[in-house]
Homo-oligomer: A and B are copies of this chain.
């Protein structure tokens, strides 16, 4: 029987020491570790797939649903995908040490704001084995030490991946404890991370469903960077181009319905609803989407189901869309302020002033003009990957890549100045 409390406390101490040692490593060494990790994952394909087969066997035995088993399952293509993701992160510029600003105020001091790692990140995720490689790569790129806690269903797969990480980190000369995976399935380990491991954890990142993130946010004693949900809106303005409105709305809802950037509510300007809504709705219906509208929307598209109040607050993650007629930009902004989750909103319009009023009025992490909410993704933003999309307003907002996993310090160079 493992003493989980002692194990976790020891992991915290080692992570803190690794974080201190990582500060002295070079960007080249971190890139080297990432490049080796990509190769190492390819070389260990057989071991990783064998471990994954054990996870799947256990999952079947404990009656996990087919959908969850699919999420857990690895294939040669998925292992290759992990390696490519790590290579993409390796190709990103190393953020550590970058000068964000440098200036000389009246006192003559040379002041630079320089990016630094945050320290130790605690990442808690569900049963997607690829997150083990992704999270490790983003933490290494940003110079942070990591304590990774995977869902218990993917522990065997994650241990196989963590073994590759440990080997490549050592080969590149980085601290051996730079990335540690919690090696046991006990739920007590999650509580230990949430407690902050005696101050060793600087930031907790939950990556997973709403209930996981909500638990982490309510129980954590250390700061948390997480997103609760993506209740995204697309607003069709009176000045929308019909062709853009049709293509973008269909993509925003139906490209993948299970991602946090999928549009969940369509808002349509009353002034052009008769022109815009029927063809947009026809495309969605043809693609298999269920529409739930208010009375005015249903008057234009009679096949719609009647929307209830709960529909404005539902992140369906399914081929269902709520539809509401609003009074122009201000009506759309009011609806989003009341019901939105601060994630991602789009306006479709040819009117630049309307676009600006929408962008100013909506207080969300991402505001898109004439394009699809499904672009809410660190990869699409050019970040080489993401550990999640933050709906917090503090520290980092929107996609969280390596740069967003840094903080800064001020480096002040003087020549013996004293303060008067």
Contacts and interface: CB of A to CB of B under 8 A. Distances in A.
A105 interface: yes
Nearest to A406: B393
Contacts of A413: 369-371
A412 B368 contact: yes
Contact of A409 (B23, B377, B397): B397
A326 B251 CA distance: 63
A144 to B, nearest CB: 11
Contacts of A203: 393-394
Among A23, A241, A250, the most chain B Cβ lie within 10 Å of the Cβ of A23
27 contacts: A20-B337, A24-B361, A103-B382, A105-B382, A107-B375, A107-B380, A109-B375, A111-B382, A119-B363, A119-B393, A202-B394, A203-B394, A225-B394, A241-B416, A243-B416, A244-B415, A250-B418, A364-B409, A369-B411, A369-B414, A371-B415, A371-B416, A371-B418, A372-B414, A372-B418, A374-B419, A397-B409
Given A20-B361, A368-B412, 18 more contacts: A20-B337, A23-B363, A106-B382, A109-B371, A118-B394, A203-B394, A223-B223, A244-B415, A248-B418, A251-B419, A366-B412, A369-B411, A369-B412, A369-B413, A371-B413, A371-B418, A377-B419, A394-B395
Contacts of A371: 109, 412-418
A407 to B, nearest CB: 5
Interface string A231-255: 0000000000101100110110001
Interface string A390-403: 00111101100000
Given A409-B365, A419-B251, A414 B370 contact: yes
Copy total for this chain: 2
Contacts of A180: none
Interface in A81-139: 103, 105-107, 109, 111, 116, 118-119
A382 to B, nearest CB: 3
Nearest to A203: B394
B369 A111 contact: no
A16 B209 CA distance: 29
A198 interface: no
Contacts of A418: 247-248, 250-251, 255, 371-372, 374
B248 A393 contact: no
B381 A105 contact: yes
B360 A24 contact: yes
Given A248-B416, A372-B417, A393-B202, A409 B243 contact: no
A339 interface: no
Contacts of A364: 409
B118 A393 contact: yes
A394 B374 CA distance: 28
A37 interface: no
A359 interface: yes
Contacts of A244: 415-416
A367 interface: yes
A241 B371 CA distance: 60
Contacts of A382: 103, 105-106, 111
Contacts of A225: 394
Contact of A410 (B118, B360, B367, B412): B367
A316 interface: no
Contacts of A118: 393-394
Given A361-B23, A414-B370, A418-B255, A397 B393 contact: no
A3 to B, nearest CB: 27
Contacts of A370: 413-417
